[in-house]
Amino acid sequence: MDVTSKNLVVEKAKTSRIEQIDFDHLPFGANFTDHMFVCDYKNGQWETPKIIPYQPLMMEPSASVFHYGQAVFEGMKAYKDDEGGIWLFRPDENFRRINRSGERLAMPAFPEEYFFEGLKKLLLLDQEWIKPGIGNSLYIRPFVIASQPAIIASPSQEFKFIIICSPAQSYYGGEVRVKIAEKFSRAADGGFGYTKAAGNYAGQFYPTNLAKEEGFQQVVWTDANTHEYIEEAGTMNIFIRLGDKLITCPTSDRILDGVTRKSVIALAEDRGIEVEVRPIKVVELLEGMKDGSLKEMFGSGTAAVINPILGFGYKGERYELPKVENSYAATIKKQLMDIQYNRAEDKFGWRYRVK
Amino acid sequence: MDVTSKNLVVEKAKTSRIEQIDFDHLPFGANFTDHMFVCDYKNGQWETPKIIPYQPLMMEPSASVFHYGQAVFEGMKAYKDDEGGIWLFRPDENFRRINRSGERLAMPAFPEEYFFEGLKKLLLLDQEWIKPGIGNSLYIRPFVIASQPAIIASPSQEFKFIIICSPAQSYYGGEVRVKIAEKFSRAADGGFGYTKAAGNYAGQFYPTNLAKEEGFQQVVWTDANTHEYIEEAGTMNIFIRLGDKLITCPTSDRILDGVTRKSVIALAEDRGIEVEVRPIKVVELLEGMKDGSLKEMFGSGTAAVINPILGFGYKGERYELPKVENSYAATIKKQLMDIQYNRAEDKFGWRYRVK
Ligand SMILES: Cc1ncc(COP(=O)(O)O)c(C=O)c1O
Ligand SMILES: Cc1ncc(COP(=O)(O)O)c(C=O)c1O
């Protein structure tokens, strides 16, 4: 045990598991680095955070995360450039968002210094796990879970803030065709769809399984009231290109305010592309297919950066998007990744140097 | 280890913790009996279930329950009569409901024999924890959590089905005044509000905290689209009495199909009370307060059986219900508890003998 600062205790792993990892064939999110960050909340305060060898958690069966879903998470990535520099992309956004999610779920805010000091130390310890090269990254998963052992349906008084890291390869989303939701929904007005709360995700699995049986890979959710407006996919915000305009719906209490989404908007505007942030009707997609103005659809999110959508299904019909020259998706994805990997100018100050 | 049957392995606790429990001052859901039931799902099947000493779970930090809220639960009670007989109340309803919840969350169904054999054995082992006397009971918490160690947002391939039990005293709900939701909501059309999914609960904590600051104990949720119709409370279905009619709203994909609710309906009808199952507008409550026809409001749920609601708040106004003679709430609660505690005829065949 060596105490790095009064705010962080580090216990190093005796051996590394890195040799067991096949970095050329990485399943997403199944391998984890040698260390993890853990900080407990008890008696009204966050205790001294620790970095410890990656290990199972001992949880009481009555811990409220198991019963009431009081849990939030984030998803971010670390990138290594060709000089061995290590970078994060807009981590302040993720930090603020995990606390915003937590607030909606009656969880205590996590201190900014603990987060950044802990995260940087963790990345430095496990830096060998971050491979250089476009597409390679270390997926970082901060999460907070309610750990108080009491099955009463009220806010927990104890929590664990944890960060685990998983090496990731270029996340090739594959051919993505989406089903536009007609019956099921993801989030309610006045609910917590805008948070990365655990409870927003499991509810999507069953409708997504049904969509998969019909040959789609993902669901694009629509508003629960009318199913007339498209909202977002399971882990991606949605953009459409109508003519030369790029359009995405506004965020709301139902829709996650994606970091990639806002970066795409900024980069597109910076390139002189006209961006409209406004509700998108499903019928606009149908009309755009008919008159040829719907040129592109894509999802934006940390895992896949930008994932082109090749087609969609709606009310029993299937629609295939045309092949497009000078795709916005491809251009913006490249520019975004060049910034993330420290290969291009960082005009907006989005990069954050870890090392 | 003694193998009770080919379907259940029992490992008894070496000592009992029962002496440490003050049965006259039981906080709800904080003490647990000596044993727990655990059954793992792996490789596409439920393994041999086990009863083991109550103990912490070892969970991988990447277990999907922590990240995606793939978790469902049930709440039921065991009662002891004055001859030492042990009873459950309509346990088949809870069993079916946990599988219905699980289906919506893409979780495998749990086998009926495993459930009943395991539950009965568990209750017999820990029968000293069930105290006789109206109000005393053993609260039973079956729950299922996704345990696969992989942070990919898709259905887990591994689960744990667990039952833990907590001794409970007469759950005096206290003076309950409710806030009628005007802005926040609990469930979406096309969502999974009708399930006992973990993700339906944590989202209620923050709005409930706000209501508490205004002096209410609970929130009565309204429909997310218009907030014009009352739906249910956090862990109770809602009934109102207008004149001599008892009214409750229909279940839907947003509303839990409560076991207590359907029992209240049956008992009320059996007594000749006119019961209407139909949407309830918030304005009906306001009108009923004005013309004196709103005589009672109460919640129904396993924990408190029936909880009278003394008043409500809506759009900044507070309403106090009048005191009522021959309260439906009190009459039906007594009748229901007499059935549960084997003190009255069980005309509907709801009691289930454990011993
Ligand atoms: C529901 C949802 N929408 C959109 C996104 C994309 O957000 P970001 O770009 O911040 O990764 C995510 C997650 O990553 C998500 O979970
Ligand atoms: C949301 C909700 N509504 C209503 C109820 C009442 O259901 P039951 O009578 O089956 O206990 C519960 C739980 O117990 C619940 O969680």
Residues contacting B140, CB < 8 A, separation 6+: B74, B75, B76, B77, B78, B119, B123, B163, B165
Three-state SS at A327: coil
User: What whole-number distance in Å separates Cα of residue A267 and Cα of residue A265?
Assistant: 6
Distances (CA, A) of B87 to B118, B127, B248, B341, B355: 15, 11, 28, 7, 7
User: What whole-number distance in Å separates Cα of residue A93 and Cα of residue A107?
Assistant: 18
Closest-CA distance of chain A to residue B108, Å = 11
What spacing in Å lies between the alpha carbon of A194 and ligand 1's midpoint?
10
Give me the percent of chain B exceeding a pLDDT of 90: 95
**Chain A CA closest to residue B199:** A199
In this structure, the dihedral spanned by the alpha carbons of residues B128, B130, B131 and B136, taken in order and rounded to 10 degrees, is 160
Residues of A in contact with B187 (CB under 8 A): 188, 191
Closest-CA distance of chain A to residue B106, Å = 5
What spacing in Å lies between the alpha carbon of A251 and ligand 1's midpoint?
12
Closest-CA distance of chain B to residue A347, Å = 32
Who among B66, B146, B205 is closest to A106 (CB)? B205
In this structure, the residue with its CA closest to atom 6 of ligand 1 is A301
Give me the DSSP letters along A66-134: HHH--EEE--EEEEE-TTS-EEEESHHHHHHHHHHHHHHTT-PPPPHHHHHHHHHHHHHHTGGGSPPST
Element (H, E) at A305: strand A305-314
Task: Say whether residue A61 is in contact with chain B using an 8 A CB cutoff.
Answer: yes
Give me the percent of chain A exceeding a pLDDT of 70: 97
Contact B42, B2 (CB under 8 A): no
Task: Say whether residue A349 is in contact with chain B using an 8 A CB cutoff.
Answer: no
Which positions 67-86 of A are in contact with B (Cβ < 8 Å)?
Answer: 67-71, 73
* CB of A256 closer than 6 angstroms to any ligand 1 atom: yes
Average pLDDT of the residues in B230-259:
97
Output the pLDDT for position B168: 95
Nearest to A129 by CA among A119, A139, A120, A121: A139
Output the pLDDT for position A2: 45
Task: Say whether residue A186 is in contact with chain B using an 8 A CB cutoff.
Answer: yes
Strand partners, A87: A79, A353
Enumerate the H helices of B105-201 as residue ranges: 112-125
Output the pLDDT for position A174: 74
Output the pLDDT for position B239: 98
Contact B218, B178 (CB under 8 A): yes
Best residue for ligand 2 mutational test, from B98, B185, B235 (most atoms within 8 Å of Cβ): B235
Structure tokens at A189: 């007005």
Residue B101 — φ and ψ, nearest 5°?
-60, -45
Residues of B in contact with A199 (CB under 8 A): 69, 197-203
Three-state SS at B130: coil
Which residue type, as a one-letter code, is found at position A142?
A: P
DSSP A54: S
Contact A167, A26 (CB under 8 A): yes
In this structure, the residue with its CA closest to atom 7 of ligand 2 is B258
In this structure, the dihedral spanned by the alpha carbons of residues A135, A136, A141 and A142, taken in order and rounded to 10 degrees, is -100
* CB–CB contact A202 B143 (8 Å): no
User: What whole-number distance in Å separates Cα of residue A274 and Cα of residue A200?
Assistant: 32
Residues of B in contact with A252 (CB under 8 A): none
Indicate which of B36, B62, B235 best probes the interface with A, i.e. most A CBs within 10 Å of its own CB. Answer: B62
In which band, very low, low, confident or very high, does the pLDDT at B1 lie, cut at 50, 70 and 90?
very low
pLDDT score of B3 more than 60: no
pLDDT score of A1 more than 60: no
Binding pocket residue ranges, ligand 2, CB within 6 Å: B 75, 196, 232, 235-237, 256, 258-261, 300-302
Average pLDDT of the residues in B211-233:
97
Q: Chain centroid to CA B170: how far?
A: 15
Contact A220, A238 (CB under 8 A): yes
* CB of A196 closer than 6 angstroms to any ligand 1 atom: yes
Which residue type, as a one-letter code, is found at position A293?
A: S
User: 3-state DSSP helix/strand/coil percent for chain A, to nearest 5?
Assistant: 25, 35, 40
Contact B352, B115 (CB under 8 A): no
**CA dihedral over A299, A302, A303, A305, signed as positive or negative:** positive
What spacing in Å lies between the alpha carbon of B145 and ligand 2's midpoint?
19
User: What whole-number distance in Å separates Cα of residue A326 and Cα of residue B135?
Assistant: 71
Output the pLDDT for position B174: 74
User: What whole-number distance in Å separates Cα of residue B328 and Cα of residue B338?
Assistant: 15
Buried b / exposed e over B178-189, threshold 16 CB at 10 Å, is bbbbeebbbbbb
Residues contacting B16, CB < 8 A, separation 6+: B34, B128
Q: Chain centroid to CA A244: how far?
A: 28
User: What whole-number distance in Å separates Cα of residue B110 and Cα of residue A198?
Assistant: 23
What spacing in Å lies between the alpha carbon of A27 and ligand 2's midpoint?
40
- Domains of chain A in sequence order: 2-168 (3.30.470.10), 177-340 (3.20.10.10)
* CB of A300 closer than 6 angstroms to any ligand 1 atom: yes
**Chain B CA closest to residue A72:** B67
DSSP B15: S
Contact B148, B158 (CB under 8 A): yes
**Chain B CA closest to residue A31:** B150
* CB–CB contact B202 A56 (8 Å): no
CB pairs under 8 A between A and B: 237
Output the pLDDT for position A172: 63
What spacing in Å lies between the alpha carbon of B298 and ligand 2's midpoint?
13
* CB–CB contact A65 B234 (8 Å): no
What spacing in Å lies between the alpha carbon of B254 and ligand 2's midpoint?
12
Strand partners, A53: A35
Residues of A in contact with B141 (CB under 8 A): 62, 67, 151
What spacing in Å lies between the alpha carbon of B28 and ligand 2's midpoint?
16
Atom of ligand 1 nearest to the CA of A75: 14
In which band, very low, low, confident or very high, does the pLDDT at A170 lie, cut at 50, 70 and 90?
confident
In this structure, the residue with its CA closest to atom 16 of ligand 2 is B235
Average pLDDT of the residues in A75-89:
98
Three-state SS at B161: strand
pLDDT score of A5 more than 90: no
* CB–CB contact B191 A203 (8 Å): yes
Output the pLDDT for position A173: 63
At what angle are helices B91-104 and A202-213 packed, to 10 degrees?
60
* CB of A307 closer than 6 angstroms to any ligand 1 atom: no
Task: Say whether residue B105 is in contact with chain A using an 8 A CB cutoff.
Answer: yes
In this structure, the residue with its CA closest to atom 13 of ligand 1 is A235
User: What whole-number distance in Å separates Cα of residue B67 and Cα of residue B138?
Assistant: 31
Tell me the average pLDDT of chain B.
96
Element (H, E) at B145: strand B137-146
pLDDT score of A175 more than 90: no
* B39-65 residue pLDDT tens: 999 999 999 999 999 999 999 999 999
User: What whole-number distance in Å separates Cα of residue B155 and Cα of residue A198?
Assistant: 13
Average pLDDT of the residues in B261-273:
98
Output the pLDDT for position A22: 96
Average pLDDT of the residues in B159-170:
95
pLDDT score of B4 more than 60: no
Residue B337 — φ and ψ, nearest 5°?
-70, -35
In which band, very low, low, confident or very high, does the pLDDT at B175 lie, cut at 50, 70 and 90?
confident
User: What whole-number distance in Å separates Cα of residue A176 and Cα of residue A106?
Assistant: 36
Who among A149, A201, A206 is closest to B153 (CB)? A201
Structure tokens at B237: 């279905």
In which band, very low, low, confident or very high, does the pLDDT at B7 lie, cut at 50, 70 and 90?
confident
* CB–CB contact A186 B191 (8 Å): yes
Who among A55, A191, A235 is closest to B185 (CB)? A191
Closest-CA distance of chain A to residue B171, Å = 12
The ligand whose atoms approach the alpha carbon of A96 most closely is 1
Task: Say whether residue A348 is in contact with chain B using an 8 A CB cutoff.
Answer: no
* A232-277 residue pLDDT tens: 999 999 999 999 999 999 999 999 999 999 999 999 999 999 999 9
Strand partners, B159: B41, B146
Contact A75, A141 (CB under 8 A): yes
